[in-house]
Amino acid sequence: MTTERQQAQTLTNATRDDAPGVIAVDHVSMTFPGRDASQSVHALDDVSLEIRKGEFVCLLGPSGCGKSTLLSIIGGLAQPSAGSVAIAGVRVDRPRPRDVAFVFQESTLLPWYTVLENFRLALKFQGIADAGWRERAMHSLSVVGMEQFAHHYPRQLSGGMKQRINLARGLCVGTEVLLLDEPFASLDEQTRMVLGEDLSMLLARTGKTIVFVTHSLAEAVFLADRIVVMTARPGRIKASIDVPQAHPRSPDFMLTSEFGAIRNDLYALLRDEIRATVARMREARDARG
């Protein structure tokens, strides 16, 4: 059985560097300067990564390893200390709202606007202020089952509803690239599961290139075409693991031995990483005497 997504995937194996949605991270390092050298933070170290058009990549790694930093650099919100990022062959040196949309962990809906007004603002920012904005917004809301809340204010919605709307807004702006930074992190387990399923359904159809940051092993295996595991800070790429399962994925996938095997591999990779970090911290303490 070949799904549309699998076919798209086969085609994209041969994608050119300048195809829209192709992301190339080239030897990116990031050091945040502190008040003096001892306070500077080396967040990323020589990260190189190629993401194909239409690919769904999860970034997984211990807290503080530079996942959000890498996502910001890919989206042009931050500039790396060394190296570069290109999208569709064009170097990223500033935010590119027409090409790249962000969905953050916390709801970024403005509280004094209704849901629909928030969408209008996002579309305007994106340069899509045409007459069709309302239909476009309502369509995206209906895709996540939230069209009846278009005229509600954010405070009238639960956390799960707000994240659904954040997701819809990220999809609605029509960019080739979608960057999601732990969009379900503040939600309870059940809501996460349902949203993850919905996301798998949605993304099977969009053909977007997606980078999704998570610290949940199960979420990564359920959603990703490929999981990139990062080391503890300074973040480097430790491993890249394919999840050869077509989208949309049903919850039954989580019960399969393939799912379990990949999750166990990821756990082993991360556990080693955390052990190494603890050992390094002990060494540093002993060296201080």
Q: Write out the residues near ligand ADP by the rule CB under 6 A.
A: 32, 41, 43, 61, 63-69, 233
Residue 64 interacts with which of Mg ion, ligand ADP, none, CB < 5 to 8 Å by class: ligand ADP
Residue 65 interacts with which of Mg ion, ligand ADP, none, CB < 5 to 8 Å by class: ligand ADP
Residue 148 interacts with which of ligand ADP, Mg ion, none, CB < 5 to 8 Å by class: none
Distance CA 216, CA 220 (A): 6
Residue nearest Mg ion by beta-carbon distance: 68
Residue 66 interacts with which of ligand ADP, Mg ion, none, CB < 5 to 8 Å by class: ligand ADP
Closest distance of CB 64 from ligand ADP, Å: 4
Q: What angle (nearest 5°) sits at the alpha carbon of residue 237, between those of residues 55 and 167?
A: 40
Distance CA 36, CA 66 (A): 21
DSSP-assigned letter for residue 167? H
Cβ count within 10 A of residue 43: 23
Cα dist. 65→37, 47, 215 in Å? Answer: 19, 12, 11
Residue 267 interacts with which of Mg ion, ligand ADP, none, CB < 5 to 8 Å by class: none
Residue 233 interacts with which of Mg ion, ligand ADP, none, CB < 5 to 8 Å by class: ligand ADP
**Of residues 9, 12, 29, 68, which one binds Mg ion by CB under 5 A?**
68
Closest distance of CB 266 from ligand ADP, Å: 16
β-partners of residue 57 are 211, 226
Closest distance of CB 44 from ligand ADP, Å: 8
Closest distance of CB 69 from Mg ion, Å: 8
> Which one of the spans 50-58, 65-73, 229-237, 266-274 is the region binding Mg ion (CB under 5 A)?
65-73
Mask 14-53, x = binds Mg ion (CB under 5 A)?
A: ----------------------------------------
* Cβ neighbours of residue 36 closer than 8 Å, sequence gap 6 or more: none
Nearer to ligand ADP, 53 or 67 (CB): 67
Closest distance of CB 70 from ligand ADP, Å: 7
151, 116 contact by CB (below 8 A): yes
Long-range contacts of 198-205 (CB under 8 A, 24+ apart): 198/144, 198/145, 198/164, 199/167, 199/223, 200/247, 200/248, 200/249, 201/247, 201/248, 202/143, 202/144, 202/171, 203/56, 203/247, 203/248, 204/3, 204/4, 204/5, 204/246, 204/247, 204/248, 205/4
DSSP-assigned letter for residue 48? E
Nearer to ligand ADP, 64 or 174 (CB): 64
Residue 19 interacts with which of Mg ion, ligand ADP, none, CB < 5 to 8 Å by class: none
254, 218 contact by CB (below 8 A): yes
Closest distance of CB 270 from Mg ion, Å: 15
Residues within the interface to Mg ion (CB under 5 A) = 68
